[in-house]
Structure formats: C-alpha cells, structure tokens
A and B are shown apart, each in its own frame.
Chain A
Amino acid sequence: MWGVIKSVLAAFFGVQKEGQRRQDFEQGRPVPFLVAGVLMALVLVGLVALVAVLASR
C-alpha cells in the first residue's frame, strides 16, 4: 500500500529509481496503481483549490 503511494508520488514528481520501477512492473498488479493515481490526482486538485481559496481571501 505505502509502496504503491510512494511510486505514484514519484510518478507525479517525474523521477523514479530504476530498481523500484522494475520491481513495480514485475511484482505489482496494475489496478492499485490506477486507483491510487486517480485518487491522488483528486487530492492534488483539492490542494491547489485550497491554496487558491486561501490566496484569494
């Protein structure tokens, strides 16, 4: 679970260790990554919206 989140975070940032990438592709299943990716994208949008609301006060 934590490993999936870490890998998705690395993907958001755009930098991933080669070893970790290989491990995810060889041992992981795709669905958890997809779900975590969509959920975390929503969280990111929420964070940006929060900053925008705070900044426009």
Chain B
Amino acid sequence: MRTLLVLLAGGGLLAGSLQTALANGWNMPVGVTELSGEIYSLHMIIFWICVAIGVVVFGVMFYSLFRFRRSKGAKAANFHENTLVEVIWTAIPLLILVGMAVPATATLKKMYDASDADLDVMIIGQQWRWRYDYLGEGVAMTSNLATPRTQIRGDEPIDASANYLLEVDEPLVLPVGQKVRFLFTSDDVIHSWWVPELAIKQDTVPGFINENWVRIDEPGIYRGQCAELCGVDHAFMPIVVRAVEEEEFEAWLASRREAAEEEAMGIDREWQMSELMERGEQVYGSVCVSCHQQEGTGNPPAFPALAGNEQLLSDADWHTSTVINGVSGAAMPAFRNTLNPVEIAAVVTYTRNAWGNDTGDSVQPSEVAERLSD
C-alpha cells in the first residue's frame, strides 16, 4: 500500500512538472484562429490521455516488480491463458483509439473545407523566398529576407533591434475575420510554408497545388519559417504575416494595385540611367545577392562572378536573356515571372555598371517588355 502511494505521488509530480513545462513555452501555441485553438485542445486531450496511460501502465509494472520481488519469496504464477483479461486489454486500447479518432476527424474535416473563401492567395515557394499573389486582385509580391548579407557573413555587426533572420521586406498582409484560402505551389524544389500561430504547415510542391485556409481572429504579426530543407539558403526564407482590420486591408490592397498600375505605365517611358541604377541596386540586393554576392564576385565555380565577367560585358543581349530565361539545368532561375520588366531592365543595367563594370549602356523596360511578349 505504501509503495502504491509513493508511485501515485511520483505520477502526480510528473504531471505537475509537465504542466509547468507546457505553460512556459515548450508547447505548441494556441494560435490566433478558431481552428488553431481546436487543434491545440485536441493535442492537449490526447497528450493527457497518453500521460494517464503511461502513469497507470508503468505504475502497475513498477509496483509489481517491487512488491513481488524474489528476495521476498514471491513465486511466479504458471497459468497459460486468461481469455477475459486478454479481451479486456485489447478492448480498452481499441476504445481509447476510437475515442481519439472521432474528435480528430471532426477537426480534420473542418481543416479541409476551403470552400466559400472571401479571398484567394497563391503562395509560391522559390529558392529562397516566398511569392504571394492575391488572385484576381492584380496584386502580387515577392517576400525576401530583410537581414543584410553583410550581417549574416559577419562583415558587419548584427543589428540587435531588427529581428535577425526573421524579418522580411514584404510581409503577407491579410484581413482579420475573413476566410482566406491559400493555394500552395513551388517554382523549383519542395518548400513548406509553416506559421505555427495559424496552425498551417503546408508543403509547396512543384507541379502540384495544395490548399489550406485561415480565418484570423486577432490583428498582429505572425512569424514562420520554411519547414522543408530546400537548399543552402533554406534558413534564410522566413515568413511574416501581418493581420490587419478589414478596412486597413482594403486600403493597402488598393494602394498596391495603384502602384502596380503605375509601374505598368512606367514600362513605356524612357528611363534615366540613374533611376535604373537605383532601382537595380534594390532588386540586386534582394534577389540576386544570395548567389552572386554583394560585390558581384559570385562564388565560383558554382556561382559565376558578374563583376568583370567578359561575356556579360561584351553581350548585353545575352545578359538580358539570361536573366529573363535563366539557365536550364543550372541554379540560375528564370525571372520572367518573378520580376516585372522595369525590375529586369533595372537589374541588368545595374549589373552592367556596378563594381567596375563600366559599360555605360542601359537596358530600357520597354525593350524587356518586348522580349517578354515574344
């Protein structure tokens, strides 16, 4: 009897310390959607069922080991079967499993029901950034890591105030209270879009479209990571979701749409060298730098240098088409769908004139647009 009490006390202690650990950030988050809360409760129910089973099974086992030890003269019972006991110990786990499966299935059904969404957003994984396309809204964007390469490489001290490796230049902006359907795919390899607070971890697979949805309850910033090893910069494609009130979202969407239209009109005009260089530096810094490096030195032989690159300097045509079409079979991506004509013209102009590449020639957005249309 005393042993049993000791065991029960031990079990209680274990449960208590687990409770403390869980309350101190070791657990999955409750999240900010109705479904994430439901998934959390499900997880906790099943967790406590497992704890109870563990305490009972190990309690009985250790009690028996101790109480009926040989030094106290215990004799083993040598009976063979007991059908009733066997039926009971088969039926109990069966009932427990069914009892867990019923609520789990109910939640799964809700997770899979992406119908009647108010807004559709396409999420595209790409080495090594995310692209978001608000389908039917005329707004799309690329979300790059905001931490400068110089800080990552240690050439410059880390800015402690700036969420090292967690911040992006363009967060995914979503309205609260609305059902948003996500369509996931990838341009290259498998990535996984994971935001714990939204209870979403969905693979993005090239050639396939996966679905999921959220209805966020609270405005706020929710962070995530790529959760599928996808290449050298896998750790450098964080996710930031900014959930805002509906009116703020509509205003944001409208301003983005306007900016996109303005940019589209800018394609036809003649751009100044200085404008192209300024824009190009921006594009290079967010898109190309991970492979071709800050000073255009690349990382030969895998990633060629652009600074002082003979072929690049002598052939603007080839240079432009390499950026538009990429290099098939190599890691150089095609930028025809990711960058707009202004951005492509700017980055080509920039790479032809930065770091001692003094060709002095520029490529106009209109020329790029023409190439993109054939």
Is A26 in contact with chain B by the CB < 8 A criterion? no
Nearest CB on A from B90, distance (A): 6
Cα of A56 to Cα of B113 in the assembled complex, Å: 11
- Interface residues of B, dominant DSSP: helix
Stretch from B79-87, B121-129, B155-163, B278-286 contacting the other chain: B79-87
Within the complex, which residue of B80, B83, B109 is in contact with A56, where a contact is CB–CB below 8 Å?
B109
Cα of A38 to Cα of B295 in the assembled complex, Å: 70
Task: Name the residue on A nearest B85 (C-beta).
Answer: A15
Is A55 in contact with chain B by the CB < 8 A criterion? yes
Chain A residues whose C-beta falls within 8 Å of the C-beta of B109 in the assembled complex: 55-56
Nearest CB on B from A57, distance (A): 10
Is A13 in contact with chain B by the CB < 8 A criterion? yes
Binding site for A on B (CB under 8 A): 80-81, 83, 86-87, 90, 105, 109
B81/A17 in contact, CB under 8 A: yes
B81/A18 in contact, CB under 8 A: yes
Chain B residues whose C-beta falls within 8 Å of the C-beta of A30 in the assembled complex: none
Within the complex, which residue of B80, B81, B90, B105 is in contact with A14, where a contact is CB–CB below 8 Å?
B90
Cα of A43 to Cα of B86 in the assembled complex, Å: 25
Nearest CB on A from B186, distance (A): 29
A55/B90 in contact, CB under 8 A: no
**Listed A/B pairs (6) with beta-carbon separation below 8 Å:** A14-B90, A15-B83, A18-B80, A55-B105, A55-B109, A56-B109
B81/A13 in contact, CB under 8 A: no
Cα of A18 to Cα of B81 in the assembled complex, Å: 7
Task: Name the residue on A nearest B91 (C-beta).
Answer: A13
Nearest CB on A from B238, distance (A): 36
Chain A residues whose C-beta falls within 8 Å of the C-beta of B86 in the assembled complex: 15
Interface digits, A9-27 against B, CB 8 Å rule (1 contact, 0 not)? 0000111011000000000
Chain B residues whose C-beta falls within 8 Å of the C-beta of A55 in the assembled complex: 105, 109
Nearest CB on A from B324, distance (A): 47
Chain B residues whose C-beta falls within 8 Å of the C-beta of A13 in the assembled complex: 87, 90
